[in-house]
Structure 1
Amino acid sequence: MMRKQGEPPVKDPHSFAQFTCDLCNTAHPIAELRQCVLCGRWACNACWKDEYYTCRSCAGLIKIHQLKGE
């Protein structure tokens, strides 16, 4: 699922003030989610890769593209 930059995360239907990580579907406060600069998905700390400042899904694609270039 692609999101537009700035599009808010989905609210967790089971809690009052938490939002859902787009990758692992766990609930987190908004402060614990980051929006991927490539796909726009919201990721929790477990699904985030600081190496590329992207979600783990996009980080995997970047690594594949780097391997192809070698």
Structure 2
Amino acid sequence: MNLFDELKRNLANETLCAVATIVSGNQNVGAKILVYADGATRGDLGDAALNARVSRDAQELMRAEMSEN
């Protein structure tokens, strides 16, 4: 199952999750990661430290039940 199919399933099941996408930069533009409230992830942004930071930030936002633009 690809990331978008998994996201679609999560939305249908009302499973809390977040998607982060690299939209600009020198590399990995378009890379995506799906983050669950428990910290589980699917996908890769191409940098382990970035994956960890995005996961941590997404979990914090989900705990606060808000989204960041």
TM-score by length of 2: 0.29
TM-score after normalising by structure 1: 0.29
Bigger proportion of residues as helix: 2
**Larger radius of gyration between Structure 1 and Structure 2:** 1
